[in-house]
Amino acid sequence: MRSPLVRSVIYPLHERLLRRGTMRYVRELAWSQWFAPDDLRELQGVKLAALLRHAWLNVPFYRARLAAAGVGTETNIGDVDSRTILGRLKLLTKEEIRSSIGAITWHDAPGGVFPHNTGGSTGEPLIFVVDRRRQGYDQAARIRTHRWFGVEFGDRELLLWGSPIERRRTDGIKSLRDALCNQRLFDAFNMSPERMDGYLDEWDRFRPACLFGYPSSIALFVEHARRRKRRLDTTGLRAVFVTGEVCMPHDREAIESYFGVPAADGYGSREAGFIAHQCPAGRMHITAENIIVEIVVGGRTVAPGEVGEIVITHLDAYAMPFIRYRTGDMGRLLPGRCTCGRGLPLMDVVQGRTTDFLYLPNGTIRHALSIIYPLRETPGIRRFRVTQHEDFAVTVEVVAEAGVSAEAVARRVRPVLGDGIPVGVRLVDQIETASSGKFRYVVSHAGPTRAREAKVHDA
């Protein structure tokens, strides 16, 4: 299918049927990215005032929060600078969202509300909702950053991914939509050598314009291609888009040297939205039309250049406003303007989500999220950590509510690991954080070399 037909007919019709203003938002963002920084700040202020007014009128959780910050009436929102009001508000935590899901949701959002689960490497599940407005803006921001690298929506896109939402696209209507929109999915949760051999062949049949996925999984795919001495057809490839975890320098070097195109890093999350993305000049631009980013240390917003926790306000999340939401990631704002000419502000993600792989004795390699998802979705589990030892055995530490048994936890992870790997479950009162303040939710000490050795020995 030719991409112009997808761009001009199929995709716009799809978005219109879903009652999303995506195509209008794409045109807006294509224009506003060239605004001067002061003009973007003014746009943010206008949208922030509208969001705060909506939150006061329609969301009980925020009406109480605004009142506690000294905003006594809707009129106050118009009388006081919106950024001043924002600075008075408490930071929003995942725990508050969990405990206030009804009061923090605008159930009358046009087009309805749509529930989601967090899909990153955090071991603490979070249920939230989005509306059509936010969906459209998040998708428009993604389209804009693809265009930075010459990739249009409708161009062939290969996804090396593993989120349950994307994986269900292999069924029914979602599978048809992917075919119509020139997308193809490779499962990052099950990267056995045999499976990756199939991916190599499918790549040359599909010949994508871009590759999208976890950097660690793409680097593993590259390593497998090199081991098989395969040179893939990259004639039409324009960029590799990496997201979902920190892109380590060695992974970036491996990806760029093999494919011969830029590896463009995107930063965001399922709940926080499309926060920032690298441009062709290599700088990370904030999606300022939709997102306000603050860097916070000890409850205080710090100046550009200082490292702290990334706190976001999504200006187009109306069904469930994310106002001063703590992401748990570390970063810093950067001064100045990029040489690419865009007025979008700059940032660095200093420390974000990291994952590890799980290795099976038969050579199969599973992405960490393949075990994170079933644990995250198990009722009663509050926190967990998975450790794979050198002999492939797995220990799962779990902080859980009463009634959750070790046997039930083991049953949840057994399909991921198979029957041949010992699994031990420890129910604990707490799991200590690392000295950095961040968790590694999956840590493997096995490694691909040991897995290959085990496979040869078994043979």
**What are the pLDDT digits (tens) for 125-159?**
688 999 999 999 999 999 999 999 999 988 999 99
Residue 388 belongs to a domain = yes
What pLDDT score was predicted for residue 119? 47
**Residue 225 φ then ψ, to 5°:** -60, -40
The two three-digit tokens of residue 102, written as one number:
């009804």
Nearest to 76 by CA among 89, 87, 67, 88: 67
What pLDDT score was predicted for residue 121? 46
Q: For residue 423, what are the contacts with CB-CB under 8 A and spacing of at least 6?
A: 393, 394, 395, 396, 410, 413, 414, 417
State the residue for tokens 């090199």: 226
Residue 366 belongs to a domain = yes
Helices (H), 188-315: 193-206, 215-227, 249-259
Q: How far apart are CA 210 and CA 149, in angstroms?
A: 9
Residue 404 belongs to a domain = yes
Residue 441 belongs to a domain = yes
Per cent of the chain over pLDDT 70 is 88
Residue 398 belongs to a domain = yes
Give the range among 73-77, 244-248, 377-381, 383-387 with minimum mean pLDDT.
73-77
The 10s digit of each residue's pLDDT in 177-215 is 666 678 999 988 878 889 999 999 999 999 999 999 999
Whether the per-residue pLDDT at 33 is higher than 80: the answer is yes
What pLDDT score was predicted for residue 92? 97
Give the range among 111-120, 121-130, 241-250, 259-268 with minimum mean pLDDT.
121-130
Return the number of other C-beta atoms located less than 10 Å from residue 380's C-beta: 14
pTM of the model: 0.82
The 10s digit of each residue's pLDDT in 392-437 is 999 999 999 899 999 999 999 999 999 889 999 999 998 875 543 4
Whether the per-residue pLDDT at 256 is higher than 70: the answer is yes
Nearest to 375 by CA among 117, 171, 93: 117
The 10s digit of each residue's pLDDT in 43-101 is 999 999 999 999 999 999 999 999 999 887 766 777 778 999 999 999 999 999 999 99
Q: How far apart are CA 327 and CA 354, in angstroms?
A: 14
Residue 194 belongs to a domain = no
Residue 69 belongs to a domain = no
Whether the per-residue pLDDT at 117 is higher than 90: the answer is no
Q: What is the CATH number of the domain that holds 366?
A: 3.30.300.30
What pLDDT score was predicted for residue 329? 87
Using the Cα atoms of residue 291, residue 293, residue 298 and residue 303 in order, give the sign of their dihedral: negative
Q: Which H/E stretch holds residue 317?
A: none
Using the Cα atoms of residue 211, residue 216, residue 222 and residue 224 in order, give the sign of their dihedral: negative
- Please tell me the total count of domains within the chain: 1
Q: Which residues on neighbouring strands pair with residue 346, listed in sequence order?
A: 285, 334
Domain encompassing residue 373: 357-458
The two three-digit tokens of residue 420, written as one number:
């041949």
Residue 406 belongs to a domain = yes
What pLDDT score was predicted for residue 122? 45
What pLDDT score was predicted for residue 170? 47
The 10s digit of each residue's pLDDT in 326-352 is 998 889 999 999 999 999 999 998 766
